[in-house]
Amino acid sequence: MSQQRFSNKVVIVTGAAQGIGRGVALRVAREGGKVVMADFSEYVEDVLKEVIDAGGEAITVRTDLEQFEGAEKVVHAALEKYGRVDVLLNIVGGAIWMKPFQEFKPEEVEKEIRRSLFPTLWCCHAVLPSMIAQQSGAIVNVSSVATRGINRIPYSAAKGGVNGLTASLAFEHAHDGIRVNAVATGGTEAPPRKVPRNSAPMSEQDKTWMQEVVDQTVDRTFLKRYGTIDEQVNVITFLASDEASYITGSVVPVGGGDLG
């Protein structure tokens, strides 16, 4: 890829250890960005090695982004190393359980919200002062077309919160030169997770509920298939780049026709 859309830009990528986050981090590094890769998992160090071996530049920050202090740690590391943050890409999130809403325990509902809303909320909050000071910045949040979906209501609520955050933050800080958009991802094919969101073995009932989600996801797409990681990365990095300089406050569905 000859494009260098992130040349000399400092880009925070959360959830960089695997899946879409890893794909985004590798793409940004390949396009000249200085990548600050944040993740709770040690596997983010493997991605750092991939970046360095390919001639890119990156650092890692191991932290818990469900806590505001974790988000502050990432932004502080970026500012300490590079002096600025040009782009924030919030990838962390993902449903932990797939089951009808009435089957969720109260503590499970809270865990879903903490995982799929708070990392984005906290990272946006932590990065704003530096972006306001420099009067520029781009933020891309990862949402989901599952805001209209079955068997994951708490996750749907969290991603609805991401959509609301995206629109309102874009409105509030356009005068500061900050663009804020979201990508509502559809079902995405990915390798097995190195760190599972839910390590408990699945019962036969769990498998049935999961299959209902898969069937609904495919049925709602015009293309009748899951997307690829690259198909999500393409849109996330476009919105983060200067090519999207007149796009803000938008939630772009990347779900094969499923608009969420």
Chain segment 78-113, per-residue pLDDT in tens: 999 999 999 999 999 999 999 999 999 999 999 999
Tens digit of pLDDT for each residue in 231-248?
999 999 999 999 999 999
Please give the mean pLDDT across all residues of the chain.
Answer: 96
Calculated CA dihedral for residues 20, 26, 44, 64, nearest 10 degrees:
-60
User: CA–CA separation, 252 vs 195, rounded Å?
Assistant: 28
230 class by beta-carbon count within 10 Å (0-12 exposed, 13-18 middle, 19+ buried): exposed
Sign of the alpha-carbon torsion through 79, 81, 82, 86: negative
pTM of the model: 0.95
User: CA–CA separation, 23 vs 65, rounded Å?
Assistant: 19
Whether pLDDT at 17 is above 50: yes
Tens digit of pLDDT for each residue in 189-220?
988 767 667 778 889 999 999 999 999 999 99
Q: Which residues neighbour 80 within 8 Å (Cβ) at sequence distance 6 or greater?
A: none
Q: What is the pLDDT of residue 47?
A: 98
| Domains (range + CATH), the chain | 10-254 (3.40.50.720)
The token pair at 69 is: 């202090």
1 vs 135, higher pLDDT: 135
Q: What is the pLDDT of residue 104?
A: 98
Q: Please state, in angstroms and as integers, the Cα–Cα distance from residue 14 to each residue in 61, 107, 126, 213, following that order.
A: 9, 24, 13, 26
> Annotated catalytic sites, by residue?
155
Q: What is the pLDDT of residue 45?
A: 98
Q: What is the pLDDT of residue 260?
A: 87
Tens digit of pLDDT for each residue in 59-86?
999 999 999 999 999 999 999 999 999 9
Q: What is the pLDDT of residue 2?
A: 57
Whether pLDDT at 1 is above 50: no
**Phi, then psi, of 67 in degrees rounded to 5:** -115, 140
Per cent of the chain over pLDDT 70 is 98
